[in-house]
Chains A and B, each alone.
Chain A
Amino acid sequence: RKEVEQDPGPFNVPEGATVAFNCTYSNSASQSFFWYRQDCRKEPKLLMSVYSSGNEDGRFTAQLNRASQYISLLIRDSKLSDSATYLCVVIVDSWGKLQFGAGTQVVVTP
């Protein structure tokens, strides 16, 4: 089993709609979680951290479910510019080693 798993998608979303997807992790000792965004043929960029209590950044909401070992990302009022691959990132040890998921592709359509 992979340490970090994501549904590859694509999630085809009409503009203005809401989309949500999860990322599961296998190491119950993992402490820190992040969402990155990667546009086609570009480098990944940090979208947001995921806090235990859940957090929101504009139209984006991240949640952590420790009991079931997954994090989620919800995008409200989707924009065409939200089309990208969303990468889940987990810090897997105390030294700070990161593990990336393979990404979930989101395609927002007019």
Chain B
Amino acid sequence: GAGVSQSPSNKVTEKGKDVELRCDPISGHTALYWYRQSLGQGLEFLIYFQGNSAPDKSGLPSDRFSAERTGGSVSTLTIQRTQQEDSAVYLCASSVYGEAGKLFFGSGTQLSVL
């Protein structure tokens, strides 16, 4: 498909386990964002990749969270030693360089930490 793809769509894990969330952006989109959204809340910025520049990690809530983007395309968000408060929908979005406000979102990964 031509849209942003995220996997898995749902992830249930036990407290203390590590999880990896994947995002495949639209081909040619140089900017990639990760956000998370708790039920009934707004979007919380996590991390931003723009081309080959160093990512803006200012939104990562703790050192248990990390993300990488390989080859300027696919990105993986890793959460180590998951906690119950990590439960949320994790959304990935991408955009074309120069059109930062025009994001295309994936359908998200619903993470549930038991």
- Tell me whether A and B are bound partners: yes
Chain A residues near B (Cβ < 8 Å): 32-34, 36, 42-46, 49, 87, 89, 91, 95-103
For B50, the chain A residues whose CB sits under 8 A away are: 95-96
Task: State whether B101 touches A97 (Cβ < 8 A).
Answer: no
Is there a chain A Cβ closer than 8 Å to B48's Cβ?
Answer: yes
Task: State whether B31 touches A46 (Cβ < 8 A).
Answer: no
Task: State whether A32 touches B43 (Cβ < 8 A).
Answer: no
Q: A32-B101, A49-B101, A89-B101 are in contact. Are A43 and B42 (CB under 8 A)?
A: no
Q: Which of B43, B48, B56, B95 contacts A44 (CB 8 A)?
A: B43
In the assembled complex, how far is the CB of residue B39 from the closest CB belonging to chain A, in whole angstroms?
9
In the assembled complex, how far is the CB of residue B95 from the closest CB belonging to chain A, in whole angstroms?
8
Q: How many residues of B contact A (CB 8 A)?
A: 22
Task: State whether B56 touches A34 (Cβ < 8 A).
Answer: no
Task: State whether B101 touches A100 (Cβ < 8 A).
Answer: no
Task: State whether B106 touches A43 (Cβ < 8 A).
Answer: yes
In the assembled complex, how far is the CB of residue A41 from the closest CB belonging to chain B, in whole angstroms?
8
Q: A45-B105, A95-B50, A96-B50 are in contact. Are A102 and B41 (CB under 8 A)?
A: yes
Q: A95-B50, A95-B56, A98-B33 are in contact. Are A46 and B42 (CB under 8 A)?
A: no
Which chain B residue lies CB-closest to A49? B101
Instruction: Give the docked Cα–Cα distance between A33 and B59 (Å).
Output: 20
In the assembled complex, how far is the CB of residue A84 from the closest CB belonging to chain B, in whole angstroms?
14
Q: Pick 16 A–B contacts, CB within 8 A, sort by A.
A: A42-B107, A43-B91, A44-B43, A44-B103, A44-B105, A87-B42, A87-B43, A91-B100, A91-B101, A95-B50, A95-B53, A96-B50, A97-B56, A100-B35, A100-B42, A103-B42
Instruction: Give the docked Cα–Cα distance between A19 and B88 (Å).
Output: 31
Which among A45, A95, A97, A102 has the highest number of chain B CB atoms within 10 Å? A97
Contact with A along B96-114 (1 / 0, CB 8 A): 0000111111111000000
What 7 A-B pairs come out closest when comparing CB atoms?
A: A96-B100, A102-B42, A43-B105, A100-B43, A34-B101, A32-B101, A43-B107
